[in-house]
Structure formats: C-alpha cells, structure tokens
Amino acid sequence: MSATATITEAQRREAWLADRRTGIGGSEVAAILLAPEDRPSWCSPLKLWLEKRGLAEAAENNAMRAGKRFERSILELYAETRGVAITFADPWEFVRDKQLPILGASLDARWAEGDRRPVDAKNIRFKDAKWGDAGSEQIPLYYACQLAVQMMVTGTEVSDLAVLFSGQDMEWFTVYRDLEIEAIIRARVAAWWERHIVQGHQPDVDGTDAATEFLRKRFPKATEAVVTATPEVMAWVEQRKQAYAAEQAAKLARTEAENRIKAFMGDAQAIPGVCTWQNNRSTEVTNYEGAYLELISVLEKKGVTGVRQVAKDVLDQFTTTTPGARVLRFAK
C-alpha cells in the first residue's frame, strides 16, 4: 500500500478485529471470571475460545447493534447532564494493559480534563434489581468487569458507566479502582489464555447458542456406533428432564396469565402502559404446490402435450437435497 493510500473505515475495523483476536477485551473478561448466572447468555468460555481460535466469528445481537448506534448520543447526553467535557475515543483502538499485554479494552470516551476517567455507554431496556441508585457503584458484575479492565489499561482510579434506561432515563454510575480485583483478573486471564489458547484445550460445552452451533458443525452426521451412559451423563439426563418439566410448568402458567388478561380485556385493544391486544396486518399465503398441480391439469385439458415431463424437468431444476439435521430425542 502506498504512503498516500487511504485506509477505509471497514479496513480499520477489520484490523481492530484482528488485533482483538490476539487478546482478551474488557467486554470478554466476564466469560472467564463469572459464573453462568452472572454473565449474559451470549457470553461463555467456549464462545470466547472459538472466536480467539478463529473457529467462529464474533456476532452482534440486536441489543449490541442498538447500543453501538446510540453510543455517541448517550455519551453526549451524559456529558450535558453531568456537566463535564469528554473526548471520544478511537473506536478502532485496542488499548493494552502494560502488565499483561494480552488483556486490553476498546474505550468509548474519557473525561477531557480532571482525572481523565474512562466513560462507557450502555443502552439498557429497563432497570432491574441488579442496578443501584444513580451515582452509586452498584452495577451488574458483567459491566463491573469491563470497567475494571478500562481502568487497568488507562491507569485511572475511577470510571463512569453512562446508562440510558428505557430510551429516556439517563443515569450514571461511578466505579472505583480495586487493585486486588485487578490482580485476580490478570491471574485468571493469563491462566485461561495459557491453557485454552496456547495449549489449545477446549473449554466445556455449555447451554449457549455458540455451543449448539459448534456441536452441530463438529458432529454433523451420526454413525452406526452406540455408547454406554456414564453416571455423569445420566446426571445430565436427569437435569434435562427436570428443566423440561419446569419449562412446561412455566409455559402453562404464562399461558394461563395471558388468557386471563385477554378475558379481562374482551374486545379492548389495550391496557394503557401495560399491554396491547391488536390484530396484525392480514397476509396472503399462496399454495404453490396446489397451484403447480392445478396448472398441469388445466394445460392437459387444453390439449397441451408433454406438460408433465416439462413440469418434472422444471421441478427437478429447482429441487435440492438438504442433509437431515441430527435431532436429540429421549426415551420415554
């Protein structure tokens, strides 16, 4: 590339993604540190391992895409509400920790003056019990891990989380540096990287979509082999059975609650601020198989010859065979 060549935004993003694959980012630390119940459903050790090993692409969900889209507006509202000046960070820079270079973070913004604290923006649908009062240090552990890493890479003593709840309520939370926590993060990240990336040991499978997709690709077709269950496997079978029963009970309870709400509403379209019960737009559904057979019959009645062979040739042209998916079924 010549000295005068312009690097596009897409190229910068690709370079950033490649750089991130050589380390653990602040938003990924939770997959290593936290128990499943304390981290987002899309965040897991196996998913992280697959991405770092180049076996899966880092995918964004709708919430993550919305957060990126509104990030700058949230930060501007934070600065205005907080009464501070901020500088926006380079979105394609992966800032490394000086003590443990495989650990890093991509920043959203920092205070322009004063303690230069990092500020991270979040777009949250609603505020639940995991959040404390505005201005407090009580935030979900997943975000606390992320802010801890941001303070590590910037060497700052404090950080802010700017949160827009329900698309309208701006609040911020302040987290302070904890050297003991930083030492734990560095030790756990270093050990995980050595075992799973350097040595290549695969983390255990879990209940995430990433694990399901990994197993589908890893074992796409069944052989004639059978295996004998171990006590551990039978424990998983029992766990699955109990989870399924609980899921069915929850589904029944939910449906009953919804039906009672519908009965209360009658033909009303809404309970203001609670729910709506309205008709979707009408849709048209075409029975292409029936139309195909009827067209053959009509043409034959009109005396057109060779219709069935032509129709078969056309049908063959548009017919493909898809291998059957492996389905896990349980004995009753």
Condensed to tens digits (0 to 9), the pLDDT of residues 96-140 reads: 999 999 999 999 999 999 999 999 999 998 899 999 999 999 999
Which tokens hold the place of 236? Answer: 């998983």
d(CA 285, CA 298): 22
CATH for the 11-198 domain, from 3.40.50.720, 3.30.565.10, 3.90.320.10, 2.60.40.350: 3.90.320.10
pTM assigned to the model: 0.75
DSSP 143-159: HHHHHHHHHHHHT-SEE
User: If you search the block for the tokens 């509400």, which residue do you land on?
Assistant: 81
Tell me the helices (H) and strands (E) count for the chain, helix number first.
10, 10
For residue 57, pLDDT over 80 is answered with no
DSSP letter at 37? Answer: G
Spatial contact of 93 and 134, defined as CB atoms under 8 Å apart: no
What are the φ/ψ torsions at residue 273 (nearest 5 degrees)?
80, 0
Helix (H) or strand (E) holding 310: helix 307-317
Looking at the chain, the whole-number percentage of residues with pLDDT higher than 70 is 95
d(CA 154, CA 133): 26
What does each C-alpha distance from 50 to 214, 318, 325 come to in angstroms? 8, 36, 22
d(CA 4, CA 315): 55
**Inter-helix orientation angle 141-154/179-192, to 10°:** 100
Over range 203-214, report the average pLDDT.
88
Looking at the chain, the whole-number percentage of residues with pLDDT higher than 90 is 62
d(CA 242, CA 276): 34
Spatial contact of 195 and 202, defined as CB atoms under 8 Å apart: no
Closest listed residue to residue 332, CA positions, set 246, 244, 252: 244
Cα-Cα-Cα-Cα torsion 189, 195, 200, 202, nearest 10 degrees, comes to -80
d(CA 321, CA 312): 16
DSSP letter at 133? Answer: S
Spatial contact of 191 and 103, defined as CB atoms under 8 Å apart: no
What does each C-alpha distance from 75 to 12, 78, 86, 87, 140 come to in angstroms? 22, 5, 8, 10, 19
Helix (H) or strand (E) holding 173: strand 169-176
Closest listed residue to residue 262, CA positions, set 280, 275, 249: 275
Ranges of each domain in the chain:
11-198, 231-271
Q: Tell me, what's the pLDDT at 37?
A: 86
Cα-Cα-Cα-Cα torsion 308, 313, 317, 322, nearest 10 degrees, comes to 70
For residue 332, pLDDT over 80 is answered with no
Radius of gyration of the chain (CA): 27
pLDDT band, residue 164 (cuts 50/70/90): very high
For residue 63, pLDDT over 70 is answered with no
For residue 60, pLDDT over 80 is answered with no
